Amino acid sequence: MIVVFLGPPGAGKGTQCKELVERYGLLHLSSGDALRRHRKEGTELGQKAQSYMDQGTLVPDDLIVAMMMDEMKNIEQGNGAILDGFPRTIGQAEELDAALAKTEAKVDVVLNLEVDDSKLEERITGRRSCPVCGAAYHITFNPPQRENQCNAGCSELTQRPDDTSEVVQNRIKTYHEQTSPLVEYYQAKGNIVNIDGNVSIDKVTQSIRVAMDEMTIA
Ligand code: AMP
């Protein structure tokens, strides 16, 4: 089963992916995480992607598609994956469909997590994480026990450089201009379900479970 997770930055895709991975045994493939890994390792792709990511614009389709095709080689036969942050343009969606069609696979479910713009900035700019163990926090909604310190005692928390207000506005604008047309693209295929992401994490998880059950039984 291939699940595509759509939603603006800060919608809570990463949080919900963790639950989907556990419940359905899917591989979590995040294009943002893969790019950050490339940057950390200093690969050619990482260097090429840097300026786009720092400005909150999209990395060119050819680079992303090649990277994600590589990532998808890790999907084991019989098991599926959840694609988080990919595709983000119509061009990427078309390339994904074409690649899956070669193995008689397809995008089975598209979860479209909808969150009002007014909520996104606070959600994103408050995010912090532990650079050692990866634990995620939010300064308001899920603060660490000691200010700016990981609860496991590993390290000071850090903020993603593109989670600052200036870059966030660009990322939200980019989402509306280049990624939201995918909603119509998948509506035409009849495999998309809209999820209200404005509510609590637990309520969103519940709606996703219902949607996944309906879409996978249908
Ligand atoms: P994310 O972690 O999903 O918010 O992605 C962080 C940044 O990586 C984005 O702002 C883009 O610059 C880049 N990026 C991630 N996924 C894609 C994609 N599918 N297409 C183009 N750029 C991407």
Q: Does 88 sit in the ligand 1 pocket, CB within 6 Å?
A: yes
Domain map of the chain by residue range? 2-115+165-217
pLDDT value at residue 217: 64
- Is 13 a catalytic site residue? yes
CATH superfamily, domain 2-115+165-217, is P-loop containing nucleotide triphosphate hydrolases (3.40.50.300)
Tell me the pTM. Answer: 0.92
By CB atoms closer than 10 A (0-12, 13-18, 19+), residue 177 is: exposed
What is the tens place of the pLDDT at every residue in 71-96? 999 887 667 999 999 999 999 999 99
User: Measuring from atom 9 of ligand 1, which residue has the nearest CA?
Assistant: 53
User: Measuring from atom 12 of ligand 1, which residue has the nearest CA?
Assistant: 53
Of 29, 35, 51, 52, the one to substitute when testing ligand 1's pocket (max ligand atoms within 8 A of C-beta) is 35
Residue 13 to residue 113: CA distance in whole angstroms: 7
Q: Does 32 sit in the ligand 1 pocket, CB within 6 Å?
A: yes
Low-confidence ranges of the chain (pLDDT < 50): none
Distance from Cα 35 to the centre of ligand 1, integer Å: 8
User: H helices of 42-176, where?
Assistant: 44-55, 61-72, 90-101, 117-125, 165-174
What is the tens place of the pLDDT at every residue in 31-41? 999 999 999 99
For residue 158, what are the β-bridge partners?
129
- Catalytic: which of 127, 128, 189, 203? 127
- Is 127 a catalytic site residue? yes
Q: Does 65 sit in the ligand 1 pocket, CB within 6 Å?
A: no
pLDDT value at residue 74: 84
- Is 128 a catalytic site residue? no
